[in-house]
Structure 1
């Protein structure tokens, strides 16, 4: 059955487009999503509810430690004690006053063999590749996608996933990733408070997806999706009933158990790179504009969260854009408005 979209509110502010097209929200699925927005050389942390209520003042601002660095995906401690910045040659934990809590140095993301480093603090080379960080749900650990080794020979290049102590930056565990030659990546905190997800984009070479758990002694990693290198991680069910991926080119949408087992699949149409759990019962997803074998299938759809069967299409008010969506898990979702800096929040 089709459903009408009801506009709840809208905001207009610089960089608002990232609320829809950017990385997943911090504290996703807890009912209090938190948005991270880069504004100049600052990382602003906003409670999403406050933003849409008209409060434009960020909860806290963390200064970016490397002027000129535009790469990496950063994360923030749940208690707002620090931000974990993913740089080109280090991960750095920074307090709101700009002081450094710790630095974890690693090899350079710039994949040019043997390029020189100036030794200064800018840590900005010419390469466009970058990693990411994710602070655990309890704030005790920082997970980071980094370069472990990079020498004068291309065969020396090795990426990895490391678990760091959030207090000291000490490395607790690492997973070498010999198959990864990343363009970029992002982390996704599982709502069980224990697991961390990592999705690595490698351009035309495909995608890698990992789920990790650190119990204080042993690192356990699930990488069952990586044989095909073709699935993109998007969201986790708020009640831990699985996670969503879309095939690299949109050919199907799948629901998985943590080990990668397929629990449900929908390959009726070509899906776009934007989907998520609207709530515990419903998945919200869009189809690709280029999908023209059945023009009537284009749009935003509601799917059953456990079977991925289509329930109906979302009808927007006349004159509003029907574009990519960002489901928030609380029965609402976001879309971009008529300008890059306007975002609308909707419910059914």
Structure 2
């Protein structure tokens, strides 16, 4: 970890101010989207042979990059689209008792909660709305990759990193060449029905949270029209009983639908449960395609997400918009 921090320190750049146009556009989109119908050298952790993930309650203290790519062409390319992304954050793990209204770290036995015995409003997004320990999500503020490539990092590529388990606290974001604008998963001003994350929720998610899925938009940079949009999440075959157990709890989705929640009870690389929680297979796709016409030319695009076992190299995951 010290080596990575030293490396980041050597390549740290002065954080740039976000372009005001995209700042305002992202915030407007963030406030209106809810309800739309539409891993270096380290080995971990939820591994069922097909789905490979860094998340394991027994191995939490690791550096990790979330990776984002807009590969639709540099500035001047008529195929280029803006890629606007909204992460949805939730509690990454369960414990061995899903009905006691508290979360217990299965490694350290540290207990968060009981959520229902603290003053109402302490965990408004992560418990109060459903009364469940798991399956509660809240959107982080949208961010945009314009794809211009000027400079590459921050427009065509982005890697979000902090020393936390989940990068929801801005003050803990590590400035580096891969994230010149200090983007993080900002949960301080979500749209209704969510409310701003409380300090207790920020701490809980910074220590035990993850991104479960994304809402994405492909935007014409000339007209600012959203040409395609949807939700995407990592592919995981929850129907395989050798690895996944249905928790019996359903999650409320921003689309208005519900989905079953599963947890990992066996991982190929540790021979133990990781206790990672995932949404039922097929809740959202892991890739999507669409077409967009500029003048007389039609371009085909793909949005996809891939997860890894590593965290830094390889990454946690890569969410990418590309020309197909």
TM-score bucket (shorter structure):
under 0.3
Question: Greater RCO between the two (CA within 8 Å, min separation 6)?
Answer: 2
Normalising to structure 1: TM-score of the pair?
Answer: 0.21
Question: Between Structure 1 and Structure 2, which shows a larger proportion of strand residues?
Answer: 1
Q: What TM-score do you get using the length of structure 2 for normalisation? A: 0.22
Q: Which has the higher helix share?
A: 2
